[in-house]
């Protein structure tokens, strides 16, 4: 008997799209991240499979990637193109079932329980999805099939690229047991080190520890780990809901207390958030800022705006004002800007201020140029120094299974 949960994960997504669109890059090591070309600030967003034998990985500093693989082709992130391709892929997935939960730009969970009469058993559906994505989009995807989201996610990662792994119902614990503990959701570096005190190296080692012992050591998280080690995951595939917030984060290669770098980064993040608001036809009533220090302590503040906005300047000024008290004496590892309280804009006044009208026209023109020629076609002079990622770049601190962008798998 087979489970009906599928996890579909596009292989080396950003790099694969570039190799698809530029045949001369096929078979060559390709690294996508930052501004591409000679720009070595920022981190690797995706590395082609040809680059990986050299040790190049997602979230690695671009300078390190260039040292490991000097012959690689370095390309900038083309967020608009990747989003467009992602939408094509998600449309294919929804042909097979309406129960699709997109968890990042390049991966999604599906529940095909109601689709077997039309498309066959889950493993046949998985094979059909892979073949359709290859034929219509020109990309490969790896798919895991299981009874739970957790096991399907682990399975999809085992035989990349272009893999298909099926875990029969009842075989979840046996499937997970020999795998390294790092593959289990919720096991970060600190948890891994702590589990080593128990002699845990594999998921099977963890499953052998009584749940009570894990609960005493790790609290409720320990109880969750005990269940996950046995393949137990009660979460269900959730169809998308209306967005409650739009956010953009950036992790620095090197922790910084440089105010100019911090202000410039907040400006870049605010630009990304504002652009997403306009693309969605929304305005934000609340702005929040997040600051993660070098000791990994994280603080956030938020403020309700007098007038909802979809423009970068008021978002940035608010974020900067919120961040200042959190920055005193702090070396910063991560910055984030978020917009919430989202709503469609009210009817614009019939007789608006001339300055506001000009600003709206300018912003609309810039959005159109970026849509046609890429997100870096027009930028602020203050952001030319680089170091601020596109809104579509991967945040190196993102946990496995969390919502966000993970184009490097």
Q: Helix/strand/coil (H, E, C) string of 196-253?
A: HCCCCCEHHHHHCCCHHHHHHHHCHHHHHHHHHHCCCCCCCCCCCCCCCEEEEEEEEE
User: Collapsing DSSP states into helix, strand and coil, what is residue 310?
Assistant: coil
Name the token pair of 409. 């798998």
Query: Residue 256: beta bridge partners?
Result: 332
43 part of a folded domain: no
Name the token pair of 219. 């609290």
CB atoms within 10 A of CB 205: 17
Q: Are residues 314 and 249 in the same domain?
A: yes
108 part of a folded domain: no
Read off the pLDDT of residues 318-357 as tens digits, 9 standing for 90 and up.
999 999 999 988 889 889 999 999 887 654 444 455 555 5
Domain holding 290, by residue range, is 245-346
272 part of a folded domain: yes
325, 346, 367 - which closes a domain: 346
- End-to-end CA gap in the chain: 29
For the chain, the domain total comes to: 2
Could you identify the residue written with the tokens 């023109």? 365
CATH number at residue 328: 3.30.1490.100
209 part of a folded domain: yes
Q: Are residues 256 and 342 in the same domain?
A: yes
> 140 and 162 in contact (C-beta within 8 Å)?
yes
Q: Which of 68, 72, 80 is nearest to 14 (CA)?
A: 80
123 part of a folded domain: no
238 part of a folded domain: no
Quote the CA–CA distance of 81 and 374 in Å, as a whole number.
8
107 among known catalytic residues: yes
Name the token pair of 106. 């390049």
DSSP, res 406: -
Q: Are residues 337 and 253 in the same domain?
A: yes
Q: Are residues 215 and 287 in the same domain?
A: no
Q: Which residues of the chain have pLDDT under 70?
A: 34-41, 240-243, 253, 345-361, 363-409
pLDDT at 397: 36
291, 312, 346 - which closes a domain: 346
Q: Are residues 284 and 338 in the same domain?
A: yes
126 part of a folded domain: no
Q: Are residues 225 and 272 in the same domain?
A: no
The dihedrals phi and psi of 143, each to the nearest 5 degrees, come to -130, 135
pLDDT at 158: 94
pLDDT at 360: 62
329, 346, 363 - which closes a domain: 346
293 part of a folded domain: yes
pLDDT at 242: 59
Q: Are residues 250 and 339 in the same domain?
A: yes
Name the token pair of 346. 């009210």
Q: Are residues 331 and 252 in the same domain?
A: yes
Strands 30-32 and 73-75: parallel
> 3 and 169 in contact (C-beta within 8 Å)?
yes
DSSP for 83-116, written as a single string: HHHHHHHHHHHHHH-S-EEEEETTEEEEE-TTTH
pLDDT at 370: 53
Q: Are residues 217 and 292 in the same domain?
A: no
Catalytic residue chosen out of the listed positions 18, 50, 101, 107: 107
CATH number at residue 215: 1.10.150.20
CB atoms within 10 A of CB 391: 22
The dihedrals phi and psi of 54, each to the nearest 5 degrees, come to -85, -5
User: Collapsing DSSP states into helix, strand and coil, what is residue 325?
Assistant: helix
Quote the CA–CA distance of 110 and 237 in Å, as a whole number.
7
pLDDT at 373: 54
Strands 283-293 and 332-343: antiparallel
pLDDT at 343: 84
Quote the CA–CA distance of 202 and 166 in Å, as a whole number.
20
Measured in residues, the chain has a length of 409
Q: Are residues 305 and 251 in the same domain?
A: yes
Q: Are residues 261 and 340 in the same domain?
A: yes
- What does each C-alpha distance from 8 to 64, 149, 153, 229, 409 come to in angstroms? 30, 11, 8, 22, 11
């Amino acid at each position: 008997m087979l489970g009906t949960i599928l996890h579909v994960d596009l292989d080396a997504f950003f790099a694969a799209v570039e190799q698809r669109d530029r045949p001369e890059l096929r078979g060559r090591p390709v690294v996508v991240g930052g501004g591409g070309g000679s720009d070595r600030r920022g981190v690797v967003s995706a590395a082609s499979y040809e680059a990986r034998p050299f040790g190049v990985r997602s979230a690695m500093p671009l300078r390190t990637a260039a040292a490991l693989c000097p012959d690689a082709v370095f390309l900038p992130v083309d967020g608009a193109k990747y989003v467009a391709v992602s939408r094509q892929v998600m449309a294919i997935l929804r042909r097979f079932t309406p129960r699709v939960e997109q968890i990042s730009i390049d991966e999604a969970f599906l529940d095909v329980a109601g689709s077997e009469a039309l498309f066959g058993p889950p493993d046949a559906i998985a094979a059909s999805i892979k073949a359709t994505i290859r034929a219509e989009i020109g990309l490969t995807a790896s798919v895991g099939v299981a009874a739970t989201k957790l096991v399907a996610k682990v399975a999809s990662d085992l035989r990349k690229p272009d893999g298909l792994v099926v875990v029969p119902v009842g075989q979840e614990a046996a499937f997970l047991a020999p795998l390294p503990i790092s593959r289990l959701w919720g096991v970060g570096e600190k948890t891994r080190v702590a589990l080593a005190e128990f002699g845990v190296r594999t998921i099977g080692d963890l499953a052998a520890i009584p749940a009570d012992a894990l609960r005493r050591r790790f609290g409720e998280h320990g109880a969750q780990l005990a269940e996950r080690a046995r393949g137990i995951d009660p979460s269900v595939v959730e169809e998308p809901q209306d967005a409650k917030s739009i956010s953009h984060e950036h992790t620095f290669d090197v922790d910084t207390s440089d105010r100019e770098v911090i202000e410039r980064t907040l400006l870049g993040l605010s630009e990304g958030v504002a652009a997403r608001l306009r693309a969605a036809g929304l305005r934000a009533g609340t702005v929040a800022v997040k600051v993660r220090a070098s000791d990994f302590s994280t603080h956030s503040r938020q403020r309700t705006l007098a007038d909802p906005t979809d423009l970068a300047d008021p978002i940035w000024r608010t974020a900067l004002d919120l961040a200042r008290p959190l920055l005193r004496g702090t070396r910063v590892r991560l910055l984030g800007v978020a917009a919430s309280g989202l709503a469609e804009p009210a009817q614009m006044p019939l007789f608006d201020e001339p300055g506001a009208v000009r600003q709206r026209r300018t912003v609309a023109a810039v959005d159109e140029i970026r849509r046609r020629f890429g997100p870096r076609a027009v930028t602020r002079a203050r952001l030319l120094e680089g170091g601020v990622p596109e809104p579509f770049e991967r945040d190196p601190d993102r946990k496995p299974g969390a919502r966000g962008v993970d184009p490097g798998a």
